[in-house]
Amino acid sequence: MSTPKPRVKLPKSAAKDEIITIKTLISHDMESGQRKDKDGNAIPRKILNTFTCEFNGQAVFSCNMEPAISANPYFEFNARVPESGTFKFSWVDDDGTVITHEQDIEVK
């Protein structure tokens, strides 16, 4: 599988302390560890197990994922924007890989 590509939707700007909606999607098979291949061997679990969103270094939202989360994990959540700055999103794979994505927002 190629490197998962995250996609994030959030506004470019907001009013001070406005509560915005953030949507994220990332391509990943989320292999549950509960399936067998055609020879009957168990396919090992390999999922993204953690998602986090920070704003200017402060925790906003995070999620611990189990194998019941669908392939290509999707999240929709909110954030209060106190000032201009940077949202940092990260996804942690079972194999230790961390995928990150950053996006700026301007407070007008």
Partner 1 sequence: VVATALPFGMPAFASEEDTQKHIMEFTGGKTPEAGKITLDAPEIAENGNTVPIGVTVDSPMTADSYVESVILLADGNPSPGVATFNFTPMSGTAAATTRMRLAKTQNVVAVAKMNDGSVFMDQKQIKVTIGGCGG
Partner 2 sequence: GSWSRAAAQQALTEDDLLGMQGYGNVTLLHLTDLHAQLMPLYFREPSINLGVGEVAGLPPHLTGKDFLQRFGIEAGTPEAYALTSEDFVSLAKTYGRMGGVDRIARIVKRIRADRPDNTLFLDGGDTWQGSYTAQQTQGQDMVEVMNALGVDAMTAHWEFTYGTDRVTELVDSLPFPFLCGNVYDAEWDEPAFKAYEMFERGGAQVAVIGQAFPYTPIANPRYMIPNWSFGIREEDVQANIDKARAEGAELVVLLSHNGFDVDRKLASRVTGLDVILSGHTHDALPDVIQVGQTLIVASGSNGKFVSRLDLDVRDGAVHGYSYNLIPVFSDVIEPDADMTALVTQLREPFAADLARELGRTETLLYRRGNFNGTFDDLICQALLSQRDAEIALSPGFRWGTSVLPGQAITFEDVHNATAMTYPAAYRSSMSGQMLKDILEDVGDNLFNPDPYYQQGGDMVRVGGMGYSIDPTAAMGSRISDMTLLSTGEPIQADRDYIVSGWASVNEGTEGPPVWDVVENHLKENPVVSVEDTSSVKVKM
Q: Does 64 bind partner 1 (CB under 8 A)?
A: yes
Does residue 80 bind partner 2 (CB under 8 A)? Answer: no
9 binds, among partner 2, partner 1, none (CB under 5 to 8 A by kind): partner 2
Q: Which of 18, 20, 25, 101 binds partner 2 (CB under 8 A)?
A: 25
Token couple for 47:
């999922």
Token readout for 106 is 């301007």
In the complex, the residues that contact partner 2 under the rule CB under 8 A are 9, 23, 25, 74, 76
